[in-house]
Amino acid sequence: MAAQRQSKGQATRLMTDNNHMKETISDKDEQSDEKGGKAFLLKGGKVFVENEFVESDLLIKNGLIAAIGPDLEADGDARVIDCAGLMVCPGFIDIHCHGAMGRDIMDGLDSIEAIARFKATQGTTGFTPTILTNPLERMRWAAIQAKIAMNLPLTGARVLGVHIEGPFVNPNYKGALPEADILLPNIYEIQLFLTELGDAAKIVTIAPELPGAESTIRLLKKRNIVVSAGHTDCSYQKMVQAINWGVTNLSHTFNAMRPVHHREPGLIAAAIDDDRVYCDVICDLIHVHEWIIKFLAKAKGLDKCIIITDAISAAGMPEGEYTLGGQYVIVSGRAPRLIDGRLAGSVLTMIRGVRNIAEKAGLGMPAALKMAAENPARLLGIFENKGSLAPGKDADVCIIDGRRRVTHTFVEGALVYEMGVTEIVRPNLDSGKEQQNGDNGR
């Protein structure tokens, strides 16, 4: 059953990753259920265009980016937002997410909607709810709920499709997946998923070394579904084969998979060596050290690296006790762990991942934004409409302030999140110091 809609002018208060309470916009004057709502002129910001920041304006109209350039004029009653000193960026796309705000994707439509609203506060404009390995009937039910969410009125990040993680994975690298629900690849079962989901199926994570994996991978490729190798003990040679069958991504690279060894390089080396393959990484700096991420970006190339969160229900919440796929999880020091100490997803948000890549890994904001927006859009085959800022593309935009926090998020032209006016921090353009103020509210 869909979550109850809020009345006009009401706001939903959410906790962000820095524990500030923020508001998502639900006033119909500010957002629209369809493309073609209110127009916005983002004035005088540093707009990220073609992998660099340029001083410019950006006009949003009819759900699309209408124009990018200097000295643009507002149309009619368009709201003007002062972006001086702020970064105007493409909205983030998270291709691996299990939950947030105490909600789990597996719990259905209400939870998916709540997660989408939270993700918008963190700059995410699109995501693929990730179906955790569970009993097949429960997985199918949750996947159908995510499919339904794709067509709901817009209140947060757009559901772009469904990511099915398992159940065809290797129990030796199960990570936090429930071992009792892990199965060998089965064409009949995957066809059931595909029949029920249709075009909503976007990504399937599978272990390519398992018996029956080849026929499953070939079927998924034929249906234009991204096949991602994960939770796997795949060798180098088997991964080379699997790439030829249709594998085009690694799920949470370095985690829950055979490690690199100088005498048996394994699937990671095969993926790095092949330009057809992307590598997504949990960029919380707990799952993977920042130097290793920097090494991966240099070895693989920035064009093929993707930031993911792999976030569970604890994202955006205080540390404490949670569940994942029916398993007890304790979150301490930003690390969710099962009773036996194994990591169980993350509490990462996309904006924190972007900051980690830009600052801690030292790759800079252009690289981080490419990994958070353009690359996942290209992997999903939606770059024509999403993943970068250009006239004619969907107005999926996030604005980032001097402390690299999200101040505004637009999804297909709808303003779905706005930071409190007095909290926005921007560099003082005269002194180089930070100053606080907001947009003009017009």
pLDDT at 13 over 50: no
Task: Give residue 436's pLDDT.
Answer: 52
> Is residue 428 within 8 Å of 401, Cβ to Cβ?
no
The token pair at 83 is 């972006």
Q: Is the pLDDT of residue 12 over 50?
A: no
Q: How confident is the model at residue 76 (pLDDT cuts 50, 70, 90)?
A: confident
CA dihedral 243, 247, 253, 258 (to 10 degrees): -60
Residue keyed to tokens 């707990």: 286
Q: Calculate the average pLDDT of the chain.
A: 90
Domains of the chain by start residue, with CATH = 13-90+388-436 (2.30.40.10), 92-380 (3.20.20.140)
Mean pLDDT, residues 224-238 taken together:
99
At 408-440, the pLDDT tens digits run 999 999 999 999 766 788 775 444 455 554 333
pLDDT of residue 426: 77
Please name the residue ranges forming H helices in 150-232: 187-197, 213-222
Question: 286: part of which helix (H) or strand (E)?
Answer: none
| Beta-carbon contacts of residue 7 (< 8 Å; ≥ 6 apart) | none
pLDDT of residue 433: 52
State residue 35's pLDDT score.
Answer: 53
What is the Cα–Cα distance from 228 to 249, expressed in whole angstroms?
Answer: 4
| Residue 252 identity | H
Residues 100 and 309 sit within 8 Å (Cβ to Cβ): no
- Cα separations (Å) of 49 from 121, 127, 227, 388? 22, 22, 30, 7
C-alpha–C-alpha distance, residues 85 and 402, integer Å: 7
pLDDT of 61 strictly over 70: yes
pLDDT exceeds 80 at position 441: no
Average pLDDT over residues 122-148: 98
> Which residues are CB-neighbours of 295 under 8 A, at least 6 positions away?
none
Partners of 103 in the beta sheet? Answer: 100
Radius of gyration of the chain from Cα atoms? 21
The pLDDT confidence band at residue 257, using thresholds 50, 70 and 90, is very high
Residue 217: helix, strand or coil by DSSP? helix
Hey, CA dihedral for 155, 322, 98, 121, is it positive or negative?
positive
Catalytic residue among 17, 310, 396, 401: 310
Residue 154, pLDDT > 80, answer: yes
pLDDT score at 181: 98
Length of the chain: 442
Average pLDDT over residues 226-245: 99
Mean pLDDT along residues 139-160? 97
Looking at the predicted structure, is the pLDDT value of residue 310 above 80?
Answer: yes
Neighbours of 253 (CB within 10 A): 28
* 104: annotated active-site residue: no
CA–CA separation, 250 vs 242, rounded Å?
11
Residue predicted with more confidence, 22 or 241: 241
Name the pTM for this structure.
Answer: 0.90
Determine which of 21-25, 65-69, 242-246 has the lowest per-residue pLDDT on average: 21-25
Residue 77: pLDDT band by 50, 70, 90 thresholds?
confident
- DSSP-derived secondary structure letter, 319: S
d(CA 197, CA 144) in angstroms, rounded, equals 6
Cis (ω within 30 of 0) for the bond into 336? no
> What does the pLDDT look like over 361-403, one tens digit per residue?
999 999 999 999 999 999 999 999 999 999 999 999 999 999 9
